[in-house]
Structure 1
Amino acid sequence: MSVVDKQKIVSSVPQKGFFGHPKGLFTLFFTEFWERFSYYGMRAILVFYMYYEVSKGGLGIDEKTALSIVSIYGSLVYMSGIIGGWLADRIFGTSKAVFYGGILIMLGHIALAMPGGLPMFFVSMVLIVIGTGLLKPNVSAMVGDIYSEKDDRRDAGFSIFYMGINLGAFISPLLTGAVMDYSFHLGFAFAAVGMFFGLLVYLFTKKKSLGLAGTYIANPLSPAEKKKVYLIIGGAALLLGIVLVVTIPTGLLTIQSFIALVGILGFLIPTLYFVFMYRSPKTTEVERSRVLAFIPLFLASVMFWSIQEQGATILANFADKRTQLDVAGIHLSPAWFQSLNPLFIILLAPVFAWLWVKLGERQPTIPQKFSLGLLFAGLSFLIILLPAYFGGANSLVHPIWLVLSYLIVVIGELCLSPVGLSAATKLAPAAFSAQTMSLWFLSNAAAQGLNAQIVKFYHKETEMLYFGVIGVIAILLSIILFLATPLIQRQMKGVR
């Protein structure tokens, strides 16, 4: 898109209207608020719905399989963002991508809200994965569209938008967790209603508040290219249908083999990305050095998110099976603990933003911040060892231990996650700036693909070993990364 086009978009958006920011920020803030409300509300109770007995309203899936499926689901959500970004850039623009994605997400939650057993469950997962892939990356891209590149409000606007994400993620588990003992389907219905509200906000305010934002197709396909792409998509869909028809009845494609396949793709796709960028003639010598520097940061991110994302699987299971849920006359829902992560981010993000500004040139380098993120992630797992060590594997632990674990991993997240987003933009080759951002998000996909395999080793008898081994590995990797900082810093060629 040309500079003229960008300025034309900015000029079409009312520049005053939401806390001194462009009016379109209101639309995007509440669209994303409701989308995250629906996503995290559903995810907070999903694993319980899967492994609770049918008599308790669940699906009765084996516990280890349920933990793996939730991890694979998260991995596919992040992978699908690549497809959603490509479709928006080449075919229908970000505005339509957000709207279509919201509809698919809502339909997915409606499918979960209907008592249709496993078939309806898998239909809902497909709809939500595709819908989130369309909506999630493109609504963020539209926030960038409503500001000019030199607008000093830009970073603050993204901070406000990020707050909307975490507000939705904080509120929804409290609501769906409160009703899950009564009916899982009612909780999923709340998630569907949340996405419906998001669509209403988007549909009825975008015309006056967003102007031309999202209506442009950044790199449209030519008519000949469209024909070719549609043929490829149609052929791929037909081939996929044939593969499913052949492999499912013969037992070649099972839940376990699918989990293994997604886990492999989680690492294969980013590996191909790195090789392609490094070998591309469009990548300069300095940029190749920076691509190499990005690899250890990517791997550190995989390890960090592997621990952080277990808040919706292993720690959720720990809250349900190993935590004392009746405290001071109050019965706690195990789903409520998943509100802790966004709550701590809301409280601590301003503190970290102030800290980095205060330290200025004295603040840690990017690799050092990553090593700190890994260190705190490892400590968050080791803290869970203490109640089992002192009280035994059969006793219920006080919920304060889970609260501390979530707090410590959030400290690590604030050292690594925002810094990783910034590093991806700084280390990206000029010809692959957008794809490098997609690559950064694939570290989460790889992490959850890895989780789908390692969560199988968690059970009551191996609890201390599980948390201990993963926690120690993370801490050892943080030390290695810290010691390798000078080498990585040289490869970054001036980026700090």
Structure 2
Amino acid sequence: MEAALKLQQSTEESVQQPKKKHPPGLYLLFFTEMWERFSYYGMRAILTLYLTTALISGGLGFDKGLAAAIYGFYTGACYFTPLVGGYLTDRFIGKRLAITIGGLTMAVGNFILFAEQSKWGLYLGLALLILGNGFFKPNISTLVGDLYDKNDKRRDSAFTIFYMGINLGALFAPLVCGFLAEDFFKTTANGVIHYGFKYGFLAASIGMMIGQIAFNALSNRYLGNIGKKPVGKLPAKREEKQSNGPLTKQEKRRTASILILAVFVVFFWAGFEQAGTSLTFYTQNFIDRQVFGWEIPISWFQSVNPLFIVLLAPLISMLWVKLANSKTGDLAIPTKMGLGMILLGLGYMVLVLAVLQTGSDEHHVAYKAHLLFIVVTYLFHTLGELFLSPVGLSMVSRIAPVKLASLLMGVWLASTGIANILGGQIAAFTESLGYLEVFGLIGFMAILFGFILLFLSRKLVHMME
């Protein structure tokens, strides 16, 4: 979802831009990215369920602590491999070839998860998914920018359209893959329920292949020669603009402010990414998912966040524009990010109320909470996401010193990878400590860090100037 959040930033920047016709290559990249995100979020939505379901029921029978750690490592690694993939692409292979290599590798990874229900099949499949992501992720977005001149006013609008494709893929993936895994292929024999998780992985593989077939069949027609050759070294003009001297005092302050905020971002995403682990486990056992006699698949709740993003991102963008044009002016970036952390914490406080009703004993569930508890939690988390992530990306690209711009953006994105790994470790404690303690601690710490960030906001703004 991390890339989808740029939707708000792009909408905010382009809200007053005149509408012009976009090149057809944009819609080809939109389609390709939509199916790649369908593959990623579809597989991710059912991963922990597959890991923790008993062997006899179609899973691997891992304990929840190990499953959470595997999930955290997988999602975290997906933020680090693009650094390597981007480096190799710039110097040795073209972006379009990298996208094809990455897409096919991920398709094979998901297919292995479908074909081989074993530990070695799991680890090989995940390894290929992580490797393929490293080639695909850093190149598909840059190809969008390559369609336009640097000062083309359609550029921001193009990224808005492109990232809507990410939202659509993330929205429908859990619905399709989750339905196949938990409902359509569910069978009962001798009182034992068997789930069709492998068919969810197959759907993710097929989705990836659909995007790749379209991309390779139509790229010559709609992209021309864009992305065929490696970029190589930076153009001389840009190199001339980069200072070879030491950082100025102002640049040092700006760099320090980015690093300070990155620490807060790590904790935010560690809490936010519980969606695929502890929140999924809680939803599975303690949320009443019955609606008119039909039980909602657990993985479908992974579609709530992208749905709220589609609905709320334009409204949040309008809010920032309205504040910017008001007498009081827009909120400072650290202030927005602090409010985002508080909103994340409030979402967990909603869950604490649910846990107080249901308890934490998965073996003796006497009462299940209403599904609105988890929906409202995701609503608060999405609002926090929109307050924090897009403005953070915008901040780094705007204030980072020229000679450290790429490095600091890499650090900013890598902080999300660290957060995913940390989030997996936090989720592993739900079995030993209980949901009340884990959710309460995350919520309290998020709110505390949010107020600390609000307290530091004026100082950080001064450092950024």
Q: Name the TM tier (shorter chain).
A: 0.7 to 0.9
Residue equivalent to 1:56: 57
1:343-382 Cα deviation digits (max 9, x unpaired): 1000111111111111115221110111011111111111
Separation in 2, partners of 1:458, 1:145: 46
Q: Structure 1 unaligned segments of length 5 or more: list them.
A: 1-17, 222-279
Residue equivalent to 2:445: 473
Q: Is the 8 A contact 1:368 1:485 kept in 2?
A: yes
Q: 1:261-272 residue pairs with structure 2 within 5 A?
A: none
Residue equivalent to 1:228: none
1:487 equivalenced with 2:459 (yes/no): yes
Q: 1:448-467 residue pairs with structure 2 within 5 A?
A: 448-459=420-431, 462-467=434-439
Residue equivalent to 2:118: 117
1:357 equivalenced with 2:321 (yes/no): yes
Separation in 2, partners of 1:281, 1:48: 53
**Structure 1: which amino acid aligns with 2:108?**
L
- Among candidates 206, 226, 245, match of residue 193 of structure 1: 206
Separation in 2, partners of 1:311, 1:53: 21
1:412 equivalenced with 2:397 (yes/no): no
Q: CA-atom RMSD, angstroms? A: 1.8
Q: Cα–Cα, structure 1 residues 19 and 46, in superposed 2: closer, same or farther, change >3 Å?
A: farther
Q: 1:221-300 residue pairs with structure 2 within 5 A?
A: 281=245, 283-300=247-264
TM-score, L = length of structure 2 = 0.87
1:14-72 Cα deviation digits (max 9, x unpaired): xxxx9821221111101100000001000000101111000110011111100111011
Range with bigger deviation, 334-343 or 445-454:
445-454
Residue equivalent to 1:402: 374
Residue equivalent to 1:102: 103
Shift of 1:328: 2.1
Residue equivalent to 2:396: 424
Q: Is the 8 A contact 1:100 1:134 kept in 2?
A: yes
1:199-223 Cα deviation digits (max 9, x unpaired): 01110111121123222422259xx
Separation in 2, partners of 1:290, 1:218: 29
Q: Cα–Cα, structure 1 residues 29 and 480, in superposed 2: closer, same or farther, change >3 Å?
A: same
Separation in 2, partners of 1:76, 1:133: 9
Q: Is the 8 A contact 1:50 1:59 kept in 2?
A: yes
TM-score, L = length of structure 1 = 0.82
Shift of 1:458: 0.7
Separation in 2, partners of 1:117, 1:19: 51
Range with bigger deviation, 383-392 or 29-38:
383-392
Following TM superposition, the consecutive aligned residue runs of length 4 or more in structure 1 with deviations greater than 6 angstroms are: none
1:202 equivalenced with 2:215 (yes/no): yes
Q: Is the 8 A contact 1:71 1:449 kept in 2?
A: yes
- Among candidates 323, 332, 335, match of residue 368 of structure 1: 335
Q: Cα–Cα, structure 1 residues 385 and 123, in superposed 2: closer, same or farther, change >3 Å?
A: same
Separation in 1, partners of 2:449, 2:123: 37
Residue equivalent to 2:15: none
Q: 1:11-26 residue pairs with structure 2 within 5 A?
A: 20-26=21-27
Q: Cα–Cα, structure 1 residues 370 and 160, in superposed 2: closer, same or farther, change >3 Å?
A: same
Q: Is the 8 A contact 1:91 1:220 kept in 2?
A: no
**Structure 2: which amino acid aligns with 1:432?**
L
Structure showing the higher helix proportion among its residues: 1
The share of aligned pairs that are identical, in percent, is: 38
Shift of 1:198: 0.6
Residue equivalent to 1:76: 77
Separation in 2, partners of 1:459, 1:323: 17
Q: Is the 8 A contact 2:38 2:173 kept in 1?
A: yes
Separation in 2, partners of 1:138, 1:285: 34
